[in-house]
Structure 1
């Protein structure tokens, strides 16, 4: 056991460096882009009168929700060069994670908007709200509150999904742990430490998710009081 503790302490700086320089920035960038992609796909599917845009959105969500993230990563990093498109590891990882998570975010936003009673849209029209006013004062506040729990889950899944970028030689938290395990011949100790660090990240995100849910619920309770 003492050997494990010494190894954990010795390897912690390297793992934290990989986490701070790769895993966390990759998660943040991909999630922000996935939100933008999800909003665009939702608008194309629910607010567009142009059928091709609706079909493109549906097809995109169908493909990226229906195929494994690892397969998508390999197609983009290893497959696209066959078409003359070569991407570095960072770019391939960001594109793949953003497109994959964006498909789930799009479904989250679509379901959130669909759950708003149609009567509220009609009430907004009777109050002579413009489309922008209806969107900002009626749709978005309610949709965001409804979407918070699943969006938090999407972010947590994204954090765990970043471990797959090690398969294209990007030295993230998991890949860094693999390197130490290969050098020390202690895979059990290293993967336990890596798992613990992922658990810390996910736990912090879960606390933040619950805090935001309570804040939004308190707003709803005070508005109905």
Structure 2
């Protein structure tokens, strides 16, 4: 009963930091997907220099913890004269980190498309760029969508690290609520409830998107 009263009394105080976490997630999604698509296509179809650049990027951002990357960008870049707002620094770190993992997901999706699809696009007179955009990527997206959806949910949860560079997200908001109310346990349970609800809604939305994507591709005959 006490916990319910605490939730009813204080949940509104976590709405602004939850909004910050959602905003950071929504801004980061198209950026990390673009990075993932670029790095995957560079690995598969790029020249030697492009492949080396991408492999170096992947080695760094897959081989180091996200927290270190956040610190590198927020505290390290000012050492060379580049100062970023905490939210901008956080979005950049999240985009580069999740883009590195999305690269492997997209690359696997591209490899799953039958070689005959490439040949058919070539016979129709399409350039490589046109065939990728019109034929290959839509089919690869169907295969990659579930894993990319999981990445989106992980992205939302990892916005919690940005509190360490003064971004007013959910974890930072929960810590402040615990100090004000002298009830840190109830505050953290409320924070966890926010994460569960928002992540659940995101998962539901992703599943609906996957079903619509599948129906759209089936209706056009563009199945892998």
> Cα distance 1:75–1:129, how it changes in 2: closer, same or farther (>3 A)?
closer
SS at match of 1:109: helix
The offset of 1:7, in angstroms, is 2.2
**Among 19, 38, 48, the residue aligned to 1:40:** 38
> Within 2, Cα distance between the matches of 1:169 and 1:98?
18
- Give the number of aligned pairs: 221
Q: CA deviation at 1:178?
A: 0.6
**CA deviation after TM superposition for structure 1 residue 185, in Å:** 1.9
Query: 1:36/1:137 Cα in 2 relative to 1: closer, same or farther (>3 Å)?
Result: closer
- Larger CA deviation: 78-87 vs 181-190: 78-87
Aligned: 1:197 with 2:190: no
Report the Cα offset of residue 196 of structure 1: 0.7
Structure 1 position 122 matched with structure 2 position 119 = yes
Structure 1 residue 219: deviation in Å?
A: 4.5
Partner of 2:10: 11
Q: Does 1:183 align with 2:153?
A: no
The TM-score normalised by the length of structure 1 is: 0.90
CA deviation profile, 1:97-156 (whole Å, cap 9, x unmatched): 111111112221111111112222123223333334422332022011111111101100
Q: TM-score, normalised by structure 2?
A: 0.91
Q: Which of 57, 61, 76 is the equivalent residue of 1:64?
A: 61
Q: Structure 2 regions of 5+ residues with no counterpart? A: none
2:89 aligned with 1:86: no
**TM-superposed deviation, 1:197:** 0.6
After superposition, the C-alpha distances for 1:44-96 in whole angstroms (9 at most, x for unaligned) are 222212x1211111111221122111111111112222333322211211111
What CA distance in whole angstroms lies between the structure 2 residues aligned with 1:219 and 1:77? Answer: 42
TM-aligned CA distance change 1:219 to 1:91, over 3 Å: closer
Unaligned 5+ segments in structure 1 are: none
Tell me which residue corresponds to 2:151: 154
Task: Choose the corresponding residue for 1:172, options 169, 174, 178.
Answer: 169
C-alpha distance in structure 2 between counterparts of 1:137 and 1:82, whole Å: 44
Give the superposition deviation at 1:201.
1.0
Structure 2 distance, partners of 1:218, 1:31, is 23
